[in-house]
């Protein structure tokens, strides 16, 4: 080991000055106390930084723990070194040497780097020399990688011999403690401790997926290094982009591993969704895409480290979103937007606000989601972060055009989205997501044929991207496509899409993931439409069971199931129970989406029918009139406007036909007939799709001489 370190020393890597007179320099994770305190620095400062890197190489984690620069600073200046990780295979004599090099006071460290190296080479047990040499040779490379921002990659820029080889040798050691046999055993034990009947099966799927991913990570890392070594046209900038990309993927593996080792039942249910979220490794080996998506970091090392820490926490927020842990994910994302705003690095601000907006949208908080996504979009466009710009516009278009039904704002957003896609270039995943979202907006405006065309494109692209399409992203496309088919009365086609989406989501996310509620709700709606109320009831009750354990009680997804149950019990003549379901659905939708959202009309019409059945015509008329006003204001679908008119016509006729009805009976009957004729005109705009409804209206009018 001494020879190896002296070889490194001879290349001047360890002698490279990592400090300069005046100012605080270095990366916070590797900075000595004197740097934080702006005291005099010398060679012993570099020794401290080296020992931080060596510690990280030995244990797979840093000696000073903290999610922020301030937290790391506190640990460093007080000498609070992390406890030895469980299962660490580091001999006590070696830990003692490293800990001395991490002393708060420079005088307590080794007199020089040579003295430190000499101590490391002084083996107390000669028969263990060979094994220790093997371990520490690997660590030397890991140490250089771990201290990259502090200065070892400055050595690369200076063209120092041997540094690339050392960095490449570190790849295998970087997974120690993150994804090795010991960590796998810990995660498996955590899964099995939940006592879930499918815990073992889930663990086996996660293990296989992560084994494949980490193997690919190592191979990609090795290939990037070999390409650099053989001089096959890879520039230093491109090499740095590739390694940075791989560092980000490595960080995500570590974050995922940390969540899985603390698994509870919810984590086990969502473990495959979290595992599938790990970033694309092919990007890290694609020069053209790397250069096109490059976002340059600030020169200041402290800023770079703060950004790295923030992005690691953003990985965790995304994983929590994928796990359906929206509340904890949103809390983390909110903290990150605050710290990102303080850093004033626009790309990070864009990423943080995008994650916050995505979690708010998942939580059903659409007003705040719009605010956050607009903040993300501004920062992305100002910071030239095209990927976040496309993602932000896609989400924002869905929130504004679909969730909030502000159709007047969709044209401008759609134009900005298509322009951003063109600027980004060849990105089929984002293109597919954009197609699907624009299709949803078309559907919300009643243009179902156009919606189907776009959403079919999205599904086909997804199937190309995800090996036949068995991926949650494709399930989302299938759901939206199914709803467009259902609106066109293509119920068999819609049901097939929903069933495939359900199978994909149950397989990839788990049977209790909140996203599973969407296809179940859609299947329940189809069952209601075909008067299969028992099947519908089972679907909707399963939705409520899933959502009650994973999301807030006021989540809009709850309202969809409650409305569906209202329809079930309406047709079973359970008026009071049906009315309770309709009222609760209306309250949730109104709170989440505003008082004039088109979905509110569904619950209002349901409640109107129930009130009429009970003979409460004043209340029934109020609900039906409000539903019609909402649909005239917000709904571009003629059939939906026609439905509200015909429902109001029937209630008004019934109210004025009964003795004791309030108001002028003759005028009320005339208004009812007029509404029915208007309803017929609306339905005629959708011929031949609504022939049966038109025939029903004609029969109703004929019976009343209308």
pTM: 0.63
Task: Tell me if 108 sits within 8 A of 100, measured CB to CB.
Answer: yes
Low-confidence ranges of the chain (pLDDT < 70): 1-27, 121, 123-172, 227-235, 636, 659-664, 687-689, 706
Helices 386-397, 346-362: inter-axial angle, 10-degree rounding: 20
CA-nearest of 304, 369, 305, 299 to 333 is 369
Q: How does pLDDT run across 455-501, given as a tens digit for each residue?
A: 999 999 999 988 778 888 999 999 999 999 999 989 999 999 999 99
Concatenated DSSP letters of 181-233? HHHHHHHHHHHHHT--TTHHHHHHHHHHHHHHHHHHHHHHHHHHHHHHHHTSS
Domains observed in the chain: 1-171 (1.10.510.10), 511-594 (1.25.40.10), 603-706 (1.25.40)
At residue 566, the pLDDT reads 97
Cα separation, 262 vs 31, in Å, equals 30
Cα–Cα separations (whole angstroms), residue 554 to 381, 400, 573: 34, 20, 27
Using CB atoms within 10 Å of the CB of residue 671, give its burial: 0 to 12 exposed, 13 to 18 middle, 19+ buried.
middle
At residue 71, the pLDDT reads 83
At residue 97, the pLDDT reads 92
At residue 146, the pLDDT reads 34
Cα separation, 680 vs 646, in Å, equals 8
Cα separation, 190 vs 192, in Å, equals 6
Q: How does pLDDT run across 116-132, given as a tens digit for each residue?
A: 877 876 756 543 443 43
At residue 5, the pLDDT reads 35
At residue 229, the pLDDT reads 52
Cα separation, 143 vs 5, in Å, equals 11
């Amino acid at each position: 080991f001494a020879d190896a370190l002296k070889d490194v020393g001879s290349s001047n890597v360890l002698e490279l000055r990592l400090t300069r007179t005046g100012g605080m320099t270095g990366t916070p994770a590797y900075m000595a106390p004197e740097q934080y305190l702006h005291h005099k620095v010398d060679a012993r400062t570099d020794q401290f930084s080296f020992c931080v890197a060596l510690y990280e190489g030995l244990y797979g984690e840093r000696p000073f723990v903290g999610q922020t620069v301030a937290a790391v600073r506190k640990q460093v200046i007080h000498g609070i070194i992390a406890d030895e990780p469980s299962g660490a295979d580091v001999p006590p004599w070696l830990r003692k040497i490293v800990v001395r090099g991490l002393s708060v006071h420079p005088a307590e460290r080794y007199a020089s780097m040579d003295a430190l190296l000499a101590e490391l080479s002084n083996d107390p047990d000669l028969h263990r020399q060979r094994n220790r040499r093997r371990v520490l040779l690997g660590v030397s490379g890991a140490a250089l990688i771990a201290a990259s921002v502090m200065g070892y990659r400055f050595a690369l820029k200076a063209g120092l011999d041997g540094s690339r080889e050392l960095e490449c040798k570190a790849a295998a050691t970087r997974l120690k403690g993150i994804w090795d046999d010991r960590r796998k055993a810990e995660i498996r034990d955590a899964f099995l401790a939940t006592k879930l009947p499918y815990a073992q099966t889930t663990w086996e799927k996660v293990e296989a997926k992560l084994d494949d991913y980490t193997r690919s990570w190592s191979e990609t890392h090795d290939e990037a290094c070999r390409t650099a070594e053989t001089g096959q046209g890879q520039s230093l900038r491109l090499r740095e982009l590739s390694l940075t990309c791989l560092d980000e993927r490595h960080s995500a593996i570590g974050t995922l591993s940390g969540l899985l080792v603390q698994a509870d039942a919810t984590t086990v249910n969502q473990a495959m969704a979290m595992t599938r979220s790990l970033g694309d490794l092919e990007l890290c080996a694609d020069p053209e895409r790397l250069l096109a998506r490059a976002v340059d970091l600030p020169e200041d090392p402290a800023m770079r480290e703060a950004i790295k820490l923030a992005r690691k926490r953003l990985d965790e927020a995304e994983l929590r979103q994928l796990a359906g842990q929206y509340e904890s994910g949103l809390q983390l994302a909110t903290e990150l937007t605050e710290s990102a705003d303080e850093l004033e690095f626009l790309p990070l601000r864009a990423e943080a606000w995008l994650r916050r907006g995505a979690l708010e949208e998942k939580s059903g908080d659409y007003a705040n989601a719009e605010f956050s996504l607009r903040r993300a979009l501004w920062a992305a466009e100002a910071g030239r972060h095209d990927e976040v710009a496309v993602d932000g516009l896609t989400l924002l278009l869905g929130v504004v055009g679909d969730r909030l039904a502000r159709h007047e704002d969709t044209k401008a957003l759609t134009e900005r989205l298509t322009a951003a896609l063109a600027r980004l270039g060849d990105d089929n995943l984002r293109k597919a997501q954009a197609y699907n979202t624009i299709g949803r907006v078309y559907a919300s405006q009643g243009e179902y044929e156009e919606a189907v065309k776009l959403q079919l494109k999205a599904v086909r692209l997804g199937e190309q991207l995800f090996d036949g399409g068995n991926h949650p992203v494709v399930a989302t496309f299938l759901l939206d496509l199914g709803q467009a088919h259902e609106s066109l009365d293509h119920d068999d086609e819609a049901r097939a899409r929903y069933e495939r989406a359900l199978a994909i989501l149950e397989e990839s996310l788990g049977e209790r993931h909140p996203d599973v509620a969407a296809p179940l709700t859609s299947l329940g709606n189809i069952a209601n439409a075909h008067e299969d109320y028992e099947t519908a009831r089972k679907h909707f009750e399963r939705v409520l069971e899933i959502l009650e354990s994973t999301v807030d009680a006021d989540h809009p997804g709850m309202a969809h199931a409650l409305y569906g149950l209202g329809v079930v019990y309406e047709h079973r003549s359970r008026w009071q129970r049906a009315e309770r379901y309709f009222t609760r659905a209306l309250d949730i939708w109104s709170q989440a989406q505003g008082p004039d959202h088109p979905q509110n009309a569904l619950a209002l019409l349901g409640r109107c029918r129930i009130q009429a059945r009970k003979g409460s015509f004043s209340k029934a008329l109020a609900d039906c009139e409000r539903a019609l006003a909402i649909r005239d204001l917000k709904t571009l679908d003629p059939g939906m406007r026609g439905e509200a008119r015909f429902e109001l016509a029937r209630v008004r006729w019934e109210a004025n036909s009964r003795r004791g009805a309030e108001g002028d009976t003759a005028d009320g009957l005339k208004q009812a007939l007029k509404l029915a004729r208007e309803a017929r005109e609306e339905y005629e705009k959708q011929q031949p799709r609504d022939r049966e409804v038109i025939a029903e209206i004609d029969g109703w009018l004929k019976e009343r001489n209308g």
